[in-house]
Amino acid sequence: MAARQSAVALRRAEGGVSGERRLGSSFCFGRWFIPVPECTADVWFAVVICLTAKASKANLKFMSRFIFAALGVLWVRGAAAQQVPARDLLEFPLGLAAEAAGLSSRMPAALWNPAATALPRTMRAEFGFAGLATPQDQGVQLDMIGAAYRVGHLTTAMSYVQASVNDIIRTVSDPQSFPGEISYGTTMISGGAAGTWGDVSLGAAARYRRGTLDAGNRRALSIDGGLIVNHVAHTPARISLSTFLFSPWHSREATTYLIAADAPVLKRDSTFQLVAGYSWAQTEGRGRDQYVSANATYRRLEAGLGVLQTTDFGESARRVRLGLGLHYADYMLSLAREEGAGGFGASYQFVFTRSVK
């Protein structure tokens, strides 16, 4: 952690304005600065954590995910390139309930594993949308629309994701606000294909992402791949490997690598099933997640519970995720809640899909 005086010196050298979130939370973006208690830095960029009071360990870890409350990226003069803004907004579990991300086919054109896009032979097409939000004082909103269509063994899919933080007030050297808000968000368009051959599903997706930070924006192209193996060693177990935002230009995107596995632990004919799952994810330059879940299905209903442990900046935090689902004819509605940490509120999500046979 660098001293507060280092950040003050940077502001004097760079100049500029700052952004402040309503209800007391603060931001430091690019050349904008608000005095902060602690900072982290490395050779190429500095992550500045901005609070009105000293952050506890639980707060510090959670801030890397809840960027609206705590962090921005400062690039050092002479750096060749900067990562596309708002990458942290895509660490929310968009399109999921309580299952492991790498094995979830809940949302068409699944974000976390392109192989999960493959539709079963009994289904010709599927489309759906998902929405995730945090409490108003944090102001994060994510939306996703996805569609998939199967031709023979091959499923093609497309999706559009938009994520943003609302009400970031512009200030200068004191808390008094100025006209206009600071824009912070990202949009992403994905297109891909997947297929199933025997017990193996393979998929690939190309993604174009645009991130906005105030008046500036950056763009990046990434290509992801995924694999799902069903009936491992002639058992009901499944395993998966996948990437998210993999790019040869590592200075533009931080890639996430995912591994997941699940297996039924209790099954009663075709009406009830309990599945236990585990997933691991590592994001370049950020941290890692471990997730343990249990999901039960009874006729048209499903319910899930999971515990997520996130490790960032050498600290760990745990959060609980709950999910509910209802299947009716060709429709599925899912609701999910993930609790906050360090005094931040929970996030809430719904997913609605329609399949065509």
pLDDT digits (tens), the chain, 357 positions: 332 232 222 223 333 444 444 333 334 343 333 333 333 333 333 333 332 333 444 443 344 444 443 334 333 333 334 689 999 999 999 999 999 999 999 999 999 999 999 999 999 999 999 999 999 888 999 999 999 999 999 999 999 999 999 888 877 666 666 777 889 999 999 999 999 999 999 999 999 999 999 888 999 999 999 999 999 999 999 999 999 999 887 678 999 999 999 999 999 888 999 999 999 999 998 889 999 999 999 999 999 999 999 998 778 899 999 999 999 999 999 999 999 876 778 999 999 999 999
Of 75, 101, 128, the position where a domain reaches its end is 75
334 contacts 94 by C-beta, under 8 angstroms: no
Alpha-carbon Rg for the chain, nearest whole angstrom, is 21
The total number of structural domains in the chain stands at 2
- Do the domain assignments include residue 147? yes
pLDDT of residue 252: 82
Nearest-CA neighbor of 193 among 119, 281, 102?
119
Q: Residues 30, 174: one domain?
A: no
Whether 346 contacts 335, CB under 8 Å? no
The whole-number pLDDT of residue 37 equals 32
One domain, residues 28 and 156: no
Residues 101, 52 share a domain: no
The three state secondary structure string of 71-133 is: EEEEECCCCCCCCCCCHHHHHCCCCCCCCCHHHCCCCCCCCCCHHHHCCCCCCCEEEEEEEEE
Helix (H) or strand (E) holding 57: helix 57-65
Is residue 328 one of the residues assigned to a domain? Answer: yes
CA distance 113 to 103: 7
Give the separation between CA 168 and CA 185, rounded to whole angstroms: 11
Residue 153 belongs to some domain of the structure = yes
Same domain flag for 71 and 97: no
Cα 124 from chain centroid? 28
Same domain, 147 and 248: yes
User: How big is the CA angle at 171 (ends 345 and 135), to the nearest 5 degrees?
Assistant: 15
- The pLDDT value recorded for residue 177 is 66
- Give the per-residue pLDDT at 136: 86
Kindly state whether residue 60 falls inside one of the protein's structural domains. Answer: yes
Residue 58 and residue 112 share a domain: no
Answer yes or no: do 100 and 66 share one domain.
no
Q: 246 and 179 in one domain?
A: yes
Q: Which CATH number characterizes residue 313's domain? A: 2.40.160.40
Same structural domain, 217 and 145: yes
Query: Is the residue at 83 inside a domain?
Result: no
Do 141 and 38 lie in one domain? The reply is no
31 touches 48 (CB < 8 A): no
| Helix or strand holding residue 44 (H, E) | none
- Is the CB of residue 326 less than 8 Å from the CB of residue 315? no
Token duo for residue 328: 């009716």
Domain annotation covers residue 350: yes
Do residues 145 and 43 share a domain?
Answer: no
Domain-located, residue 112:
yes
Cβ–Cβ < 8 Å for 148, 126: yes
The domain in which residue 40 lies consists of 4-75
Assess whether 214 and 266 both reside in one domain.
yes
Final residue belonging to a domain, choices 25, 40, 75: 75
Q: Which residue has the tokens 């591994």?
A: 259
Please check whether residue 82 lies inside any domain of the structure.
no
Adjacent-strand bridge partners of 36:
none
